């Protein structure tokens, strides 16, 4: 796996570095980040009662609480470490939606034996169970007619400061960290990912991620995987006609000229990386943007 240093150039600083969208909009990180609503459950306490029978029942409930009987909704979910995988035998540490979009970790039972790269079924962001084996979890998931499915991805090993994955993949880390999956790296000019996935810049490398909305060039985007494969979500200031905070624009090959940028008139094929900081093998990767945004 490549190191954790962030490579960039002035153009790269214009990328929309928002969260990866891997589910329905309702599972987004909340109105403060992306305008999507986030549902939650609120437990409303009982109002005081003057009824003797009701008071007696309340007193009994208090006695049960003191004896160690706590309502299910109040039971905290024990945390776990996705790098350490420190759950009891027969369980694994996965990301789940405690209140927002994959914002916490918990132990869930290992329910299957699907290996890395094989298709998987998923219990949804709140339940977060799957039929992957103990060393992997279901990711790049999508919901179709109420059924969740995805592909088994290996958990990263090491630590947040020094994540490790097998050759040909990088550790996707998000939410401090909650999601820690090894995802395949790819070539943005070739778009050599499996069907339904695009080659997007994530963390510190190009990686195969589920395409969320298939947005065409020049149209508004919010997540790094909103755009169609072969496109990237950049700050609107990097494009001459983007009327939104960010829009999709094509990748291009530096040696092939500006004709690759005809989809966004007024742009040129400029280097993705700052000179001297190119990732090995990606020296010719460019973006269709304005010369001086």
Give 3-53 pLDDT, tens digit per residue. Answer: 222 223 334 455 554 445 544 322 222 233 333 332 222 222 233 333 444
Three-class SS string for 98-133?
CCCCCCEEEEEECCCCECCCCEEEECCCCCCCECEC
Q: Residue ranges of the alpha helices (H) in the chain?
A: 31-34, 52-66
Give the pLDDT confidence score for residue 262 in this predicted structure.
Answer: 95
Query: Cα dihedral angle (85, 86, 87, 89), rounded to 10 degrees?
Result: 90
**Percent of the chain's residues with pLDDT above 70:** 72
Q: Which two tokens stand for residue 82?
A: 């996705």
Radius of gyration of the chain (CA): 23
| Total residue count of the chain as it appears in this document | 293
Q: Which two tokens stand for residue 132?
A: 């992957």
Angstrom distance (rounded) from CA 113 to CA 95: 19
Query: In sequence order, what E strands does 176-274 have?
Result: 179-184, 197-202, 205-210, 231-235, 246-253, 268-271
Q: Using an 8 Å Cβ cutoff, are 124 and 141 in contact? A: no
Sign of CA dihedral 154, 119, 140, 22: negative
Task: Specify which residues 202 forms β-bridges with.
Answer: 205
Q: Is the pLDDT of residue 92 over 80?
A: yes
pTM above 0.85, yes or no: no
Task: Specify which residues 218 forms β-bridges with.
Answer: none
Angstrom distance (rounded) from CA 93 to CA 108: 7
Give the pLDDT confidence score for residue 292 in this predicted structure.
Answer: 72
Q: For 205-260, how does the pLDDT look when each residue is reduced to its tens digit (9 = 90+)? A: 999 999 988 999 999 999 889 999 999 999 999 999 999 999 999 999 999 999 99
Distance of CA 146 to the CA centre of its chain: 20
Angstrom distance (rounded) from CA 98 to CA 70: 19
Angstrom distance (rounded) from CA 271 to CA 252: 9
Selected residue with higher pLDDT from 182 and 25 = 182
């Amino acid at each position: 796996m490549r190191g954790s240093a962030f490579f960039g150039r002035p153009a790269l600083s214009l990328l929309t570095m928002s969260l990866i969208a891997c589910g329905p909009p309702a599972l987004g990180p909340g109105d403060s980040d992306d305008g999507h609503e986030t549902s939650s459950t609120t437990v409303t306490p009982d109002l005081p009662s003057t009824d003797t029978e009701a008071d007696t029942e309340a007193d009994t409930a208090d006695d049960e609480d003191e004896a160690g009987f706590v309502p299910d909704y109040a039971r905290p979910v024990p945390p776990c470490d996705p790098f350490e995988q420190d759950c009891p035998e027969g369980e694994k540490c996965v990301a789940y939606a405690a209140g927002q979009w994959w914002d916490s970790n918990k132990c869930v039972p290992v329910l299957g034996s699907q290996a890395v790269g094989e298709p998987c079924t998923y219990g949804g962001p709140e339940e977060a169970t799957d039929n992957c084996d103990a060393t992997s979890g279901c990711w790049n998931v999508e919901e179709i007619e109420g059924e969740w499915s995805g592909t088994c991805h290996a958990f990263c090993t090491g630590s947040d400061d020094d994540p490790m994955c097998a050759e040909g993949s990088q550790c996707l880390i998000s939410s401090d960290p909650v999601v820690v999956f090894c995802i395949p790296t790819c070539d943005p000019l070739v778009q050599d990912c499996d069907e339904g996935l695009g080659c997007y810049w994530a963390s510190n490398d190009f990686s195969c991620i589920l395409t969320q909305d298939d947005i065409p060039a020049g149209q508004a985007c919010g997540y790094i995987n909103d755009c169609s494969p072969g496109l990237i979500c950049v700050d609107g200031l990097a494009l001459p006609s983007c009327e939104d905070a960010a829009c999709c624009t094509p990748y291009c090959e530096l040696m092939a000229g500006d004709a690759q940028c005809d989809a966004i008139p007024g742009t040129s094929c400029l280097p993705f990386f700052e000179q001297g900081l190119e990732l090995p093998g990606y020296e010719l990767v460019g973006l269709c943007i304005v010369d001086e945004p």
